[in-house]
Amino acid sequence: MLSYLLRRINLFVLTTLMLFAVVYSVTLALPGDQVANLSGVRDPSIAEMAEINHTYKLEHGPIVGYVAYVSTRLRGDFGVSMNSGEAIADQLLQVLPATLELGMLSVGLALLIGIPIGMLATLSRNPTVQRVVMTLTLVGFSLPVFWLGLLQIITFGIQFDWLPASGRINLMYDIPDFSGLLLVDIFLSDSPWRGAAMADAWAHLVLPMSVVMVLPLTIIIRITRFALAEELEKNYIRALEARGISRYKLIMNHALPNALASVLRVLALQLGPIASSIIIVELLFSWPGVGAWLVAALRQGDYTALQGGVLTISLFIVFLSIMFDVAHTTLNPISRKEIYGQR
């Protein structure tokens, strides 16, 4: 296992370096002043220019410049915004928790709902149930995120006026900022209106969360259905069944953990599309996260903000993919040998 973890760490480091190389090359090719594109400082003074030259090694060629760029970004220095002059790292810290909160709750809820439905579709002897579940998942997987989001806004936010269609919480609540995660901050606050604020925050979450969770939910249901059915057909399950072990124990202790390993592997491959759907949802619902912030930076031509946002999202996806891979290997140790062609 130690050898496997070292290989995963090496993969993470190599992927990170390649990602930095791509972003650095694109930054050098962007129109405009190279100094401004790298640092975000427009019209620098003589002292600022000397500091930027020293930081990014602009006079030492692209290879040395790349090393300086990676070193600077790994220290958390993403430059300053070309429009506001604020540090990109500070802006990211303000918007990142909103995206994390929306993404984690959506995927977590998709797991809680999707695994039991996938099990139901596998274990049910009624073919109608299986067809209905598989058809609904196919429809859910095919629905465009922007169309589903607009439909939710028009139906539940405007026509029936049941739920808020934009924002993260009503502006009348002044929530102290402890962690950036709104639900956690409300829970930690000692305000007398804490209960009302919590209800309002959840009401704002329902519509965007229900749109984001559609993609992972359909994937989880379908993969659980097929992986569990495959496990139940294997010889070790039949051998255990012949020894008199109950059907419930066979599924919960043996078949389901192995099936969940396949779910994690496929879910890791879908992190990019899930991140893309979160960005679209943030735009539709005016959710103050990284996606909306990135699109605003794109409209304003703020290249340093774009670099910071793209690097942060990409590194986070790479990190999560490797964590899912490690979790998959932990649930199914045989996969380590399959990956490296060992016997």
Q: Where are the beta strands (DSSP E) in 164-233?
A: none
Q: Which structure tokens are listed for 5?
A: 């973890």
Dump pLDDT digits (tens) for 36-53: 888 888 888 888 888 888
Dump pLDDT digits (tens) for 109-146: 999 999 999 988 888 878 888 888 888 888 888 888 99
End-to-end CA distance of the chain: 15
Distance, CA of 168 to CA of 198 (rounded, Å): 11
Distance, CA of 77 to CA of 88 (rounded, Å): 8
Instruction: Please say whether the beta carbons of 317 and 138 come within 8 A.
Output: no
Q: What is the pLDDT of residue 254?
A: 82
Residues 6+ apart with CB under 8 A from 81: 40, 87, 88, 91, 297, 302, 304, 305
- Is residue 178 pLDDT above 50, yes or no? yes
- Is residue 327 pLDDT above 90, yes or no? no
Dump pLDDT digits (tens) for 68-122: 999 998 888 888 888 888 899 999 999 999 999 999 999 999 999 999 999 888 8
> What average pLDDT does range 309-332 have in this prediction?
84
Q: What is the pLDDT of residue 336?
A: 59
Q: What is the pLDDT of residue 62?
A: 84
Instruction: Please say whether the beta carbons of 201 and 186 come within 8 A.
Output: yes
Instruction: Please say whether the beta carbons of 30 and 39 come within 8 A.
Output: no
Q: What is the pLDDT of residue 216?
A: 92
Report the share of the chain in percent with pLDDT over 90.
27
Instruction: Please say whether the beta carbons of 211 and 165 come within 8 A.
Output: no
Residues 6+ apart with CB under 8 A from 332: 258, 261
Distance, CA of 310 to CA of 298 (rounded, Å): 11
